[in-house]
Amino acid sequence: MEAEVDRLWAAPELLEVLGDWADRPGPMYQRLSAAVRDAVAQGNLVAGDRLPSERDLAKALAVSRATVVSAYDDLRAESIVDSRQGSGTRVRRGVAPERTGRVHGGTATAIVQRLIDTPGEMISLGNVTAPGLDLLTEELHGLVREDLAQVLGESGYHPRGLPRLREAIAARYAAAGLATTADQLVVTTGASQAIALVTQLLLTRGSTVVVESPSWPGCLDALRAAGVRLVGVPLDDEGIRPDLLARALPEHRPDLVYVMPNAHNPTGVTMSAPRRRQVADLAARHGVPVLEDSPDPGLDPLPVAAFSPGVTLTLGSLTKPVWAGLRIGWVRAPADVAARLARLKALADLGSPVLDQALAARLLPRLDALTAEREAALRERRDFLEAALAESLPAWRWRSPAAGSSLWIELPGADSVAFAQVALRHGVEVVAGAATDPTGAHDSYVRVGFNYPPRTLAAMVDRLRQAWEATGRR
């Protein structure tokens, strides 16, 4: 087994491990020391790990240096850490966690942790999903009345996916102009599993992946967990920049290009059709597969796969247009690649839940209507939020997105990681730009979702205003 190496924690990395440290009782320094103590007990911090300097951690947490000094003093008094001049503050040798082995914690950990923890009064913008629509109830009742006996009479194991669902997905692609057969599809338990399976199939530790900069934190975290090296390429108004992609491909010789062409998360940009063709041509010229992640399965413009002479894998999902609780995603790929993905899927879980797939098969023919209904509601909430922000926080800057469910906001002259900590103490969880782009190019940005009803959005804006003022800004 490979030996653990002492780790030097940068302050932004430690924040992801500390979670909602400020949402605890007691003085601020005691909340911080308790969070570090828990991180050691849980194995996120292990013996030998070097903690950030008092000054760096105070800046990242947006607290006084005295708060960090007192917290470290507490931890030294409990023999959890020790400090030596020239080597900083480290977790003491001999301190045993309650569970063994380091627990992975990437830059998206806090976002995922919000789904695990009880949210309480916190308004969390870490996820941008919404409740299910009424049509979901209607189709669920229809499934029980009309299809349940047939579904229960079949085998419960479908590693590739329920045949009628794969046929419905294939028909949707084909009707829009992208010829697709059922054997090119593998149904997954959400888009996250699809990404994990593609990563397992195409990448190994040390592989290189070109990603958009910024990009979806969940995917970046999954790739880092696999030991993949990430190379960011910036976007413009039409998507990933082809001039910079053309430079990155021969320079870094990546094993995969990952893009999010529809309602890009977090910027809201939708890649133009000409840009999709350019991306497909560049990747094919350099022999690099493309993974396009389209959680909103709209087909206008067509997927990158429609323009690709090379290998392109297309991810789809019902999370946003229908409901996050319906954990149905899929991968469209060349038939031989799909067959290999199906084998990995079989090893993972023998197939996604059949009743969920049967419900998805009923919903898919009505997906355009569902998407239109969802987008109309989101546009109203987007307009409400933009008006409220313009009134309460006029210094903030953003470009109104044509699609998606969040604003990508620049905070003038501010460190978004530090502001996110202040916002947490005012009851709002925002996604800091550092989680979307490890290069630091978007450290002054935050992602703010507008999937909540107007009353919640109004409360959210008021809390954000208070947090902004607490940083000394008006």
* 364 has a pLDDT exceeding 50: yes
What domains sit in the chain, N to C, each tagged with a CATH number? 11-103 (1.10.10.10), 124-131+370-470 (3.90.1150.10), 134-368 (3.40.640.10)
Q: Which two tokens stand for residue 317?
A: 């999902």
CB within 8 A of 428, min separation 6: which ones? 122, 123, 124, 125, 460, 463, 464, 467
Q: Which two tokens stand for residue 238?
A: 């039409």
Residue 298 has a pLDDT of: 59
* 4 has a pLDDT exceeding 70: no
Per-residue pLDDT reduced to its tens digit, 148-178: 888 888 888 899 999 999 999 999 999 888 9
Report the 10 Å Cβ neighbour count for 105: 22
* 266 has a pLDDT exceeding 90: yes
* 9 has a pLDDT exceeding 60: yes
Q: Mean pLDDT, to the nearest integer, of 442-459?
A: 94
* 416 has a pLDDT exceeding 60: yes
Contact predicate 98/325, CB 8 Å:
no
Across the chain, what does the average pLDDT equal? 89
When comparing pLDDT for 37 and 372, which is higher? 37
* 103 has a pLDDT exceeding 60: no
* 184 has a pLDDT exceeding 70: yes
The closest of 253, 264, 255, 336 to 304, measured between CA atoms, is: 264
* 135 has a pLDDT exceeding 90: no
pLDDT band at 98, cuts 50/70/90?
low
Q: Which two tokens stand for residue 351?
A: 């197939």
Rounded Cα distance between 62 and 371, Å, is 40
Report the 10 Å Cβ neighbour count for 400: 9
* 2 has a pLDDT exceeding 50: no
Q: What is the DSSP string of 416-466?
A: HHHHHHHHHHTTEE-EEGGGT-TTSTTTTEEEEE--S-HHHHHHHHHHHHH
The residue whose two tokens read 């697709």 is: 180
DSSP 8: B
Q: Mean pLDDT, to the nearest integer, of 225-229?
A: 93
Residue 105 has a pLDDT of: 43
Q: Mean pLDDT, to the nearest integer, of 452-471?
A: 95
Contact predicate 211/233, CB 8 Å:
yes
Q: Is the peptide bond before 301 cis (omega within 30 degrees of 0)?
A: yes
Q: Mean pLDDT, to the nearest integer, of 59-67?
A: 90
